[in-house]
């Protein structure tokens, strides 16, 4: 089979067909993966910008209509209803100012609607032991809340998919919570910002959407693509000893 040969003085470049096709395939693949991670970083950066803008925007009213996640995520919301304290859960391993505790999540049954919205009411410190759980009764009666809508499917460190232990959950499994509670929920988690006299801390940090992580992955894929290209060139360049000797005579 004829092979392409290019000469540069005492050096010749003769890439083989199949090694070239394999190198080209992996080069295109790693370049595509790098571009995909870069696009993800840009999308996450846009979400962070949307969050920053939403803090200055008027809140969206949540009522009878079931909204979509994309309509609500990182938007300021207002909702009126009554807390359903029977379905309160505690998210474990939440640290505030160096103290271990829980996030208290309670559904709010929306006034005039068959639906509810799950509210992260804030942080509370742990009890003296794992068996002594804090009791933070939800406010009774009709309440009006404001807060920021976030993704309810975010997951953190969890040991072997540990099942909930009573009211204590390692992570919020939104699908499981919806099934267990029997509630029809709006597709977001509301981080409550409205002040209530319940002793909970609601100093919510700006969400990390993972921009730096995606940029790091993109850099790794682009570096691998560059390495593949360099190796392909180096492994196909050889020195012609006879021509080199004749050039020296």
Residue 55, pLDDT > 60, answer yes
Q: Does 166 reside within a domain?
A: yes
Which pLDDT belongs to residue 74?
84
The half-sphere exposure of 35 on its side-chain side, counting CA atoms within 13 A, is 6
Q: Does 39 reside within a domain?
A: no
DSSP string, 21-40: HHHHHHHHHHHHHHHHHHHH
Which of 223 and 45 is assigned the larger pLDDT? 223
Which pLDDT belongs to residue 16?
77
Rounded to whole angstroms, the Cα distance separating 31 from 226 reads 9
DSSP string, 35-66: HHHHHHHHHHHHHHHHHHHHTTSPPEEE-SS-
Stretch 36-53: mean pLDDT, rounded? 81
Q: In this structure, what token pair is assigned to residue 98?
A: 């160096």
> Of 8-12, 143-147, 167-171, 232-236, where does mean pLDDT reach its minimum?
8-12
Rounded to whole angstroms, the Cα distance separating 134 from 243 reads 84
- Average model confidence (pLDDT) for the chain? 83
CB 142 within 8 A of CB 111: yes
Q: In this structure, is the dihedral angle defined by the CA atoms of residues 137, 167, 206 and 57, taken in order, positive or negative? A: negative
Which pLDDT belongs to residue 164?
62
Domain span at 98: 59-192
Q: Does 1 reside within a domain?
A: no
pLDDT in tens, 156-196: 444 445 556 678 898 889 999 999 999 999 999 999 999 88
Which pLDDT belongs to residue 41?
87
pLDDT in tens, 94-148: 988 889 999 999 999 999 999 999 999 999 998 777 677 888 888 889 999 999 9
Domain tally for the chain?
1
Q: Does 54 reside within a domain?
A: no
Q: Does 7 reside within a domain?
A: no
Which pLDDT belongs to residue 3?
58
Residue 248, pLDDT > 60, answer no
For the beta sheet containing 6-8, the strands, ordered from the edge strand earlier in sequence to the opposite edge, are 6-8, 11-13, 237-239
Residue 240, pLDDT > 70, answer no
> Of 28-42, 104-118, 136-150, 227-241, where does mean pLDDT reach its minimum?
227-241
Rounded to whole angstroms, the Cα distance separating 133 from 182 reads 24
Rounded to whole angstroms, the Cα distance separating 167 from 131 reads 11
Stretch 221-225: mean pLDDT, rounded? 92
**111 Cα distance to chain centroid:** 31
Which pLDDT belongs to residue 17?
80
Q: Which residue has the tokens 């809508």?
A: 149
pLDDT in tens, 192-222: 999 888 889 998 877 666 788 888 999 999 9
Which pLDDT belongs to residue 244?
47
Q: Does 137 reside within a domain?
A: yes
Stretch 50-57: mean pLDDT, rounded? 74
Which pLDDT belongs to residue 116?
96
CB 88 within 8 A of CB 137: no
Q: Does 143 reside within a domain?
A: yes
Which pLDDT belongs to residue 30?
93
Q: Does 98 reside within a domain?
A: yes
């Amino acid at each position: 089979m004829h092979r392409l040969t290019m000469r540069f003085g005492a050096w010749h470049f003769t890439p083989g067909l199949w090694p070239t096709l394999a190198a080209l395939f992996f080069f295109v693949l790693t370049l595509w993966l790098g571009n995909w991670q870069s696009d993800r970083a840009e999308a996450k950066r846009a979400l962070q910008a949307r969050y920053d803008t939403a803090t200055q925007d008027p809140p969206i009213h949540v009522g009878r209509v079931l909204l979509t996640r994309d309509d609500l995520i990182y938007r300021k919301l207002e909702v009126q209803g009554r807390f359903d304290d029977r379905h309160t859960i505690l998210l474990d391993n939440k640290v505030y100012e160096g103290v271990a505790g829980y996030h208290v999540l309670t559904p709010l049954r929306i006034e005039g609607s068959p639906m509810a919205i799950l509210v992260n009411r804030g942080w509370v410190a742990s009890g003296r032991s794992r068996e002594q759980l804090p009791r933070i009764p939800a406010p009774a009666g009709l309440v009006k809340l404001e807060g920021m809508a976030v993704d309810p499917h975010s997951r953190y460190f969890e040991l072997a998919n540990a099942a909930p232990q009573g009211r204590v959950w390692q992570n919020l499994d939104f699908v499981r919570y919806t099934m267990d509670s029997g509630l029809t929920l709006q597709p977001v988690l509301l981080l409550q910002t409205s002040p209530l006299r319940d002793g909970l801390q609601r100093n919510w940090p700006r969400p990390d959407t993972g921009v730096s992580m995606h940029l790091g992955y993109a850099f790794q894929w682009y570096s691998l693509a560059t390495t593949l290209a360099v190796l392909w060139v180096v492994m196909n360049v050889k020195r012609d000893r006879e021509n080199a000797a004749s050039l020296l005579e």
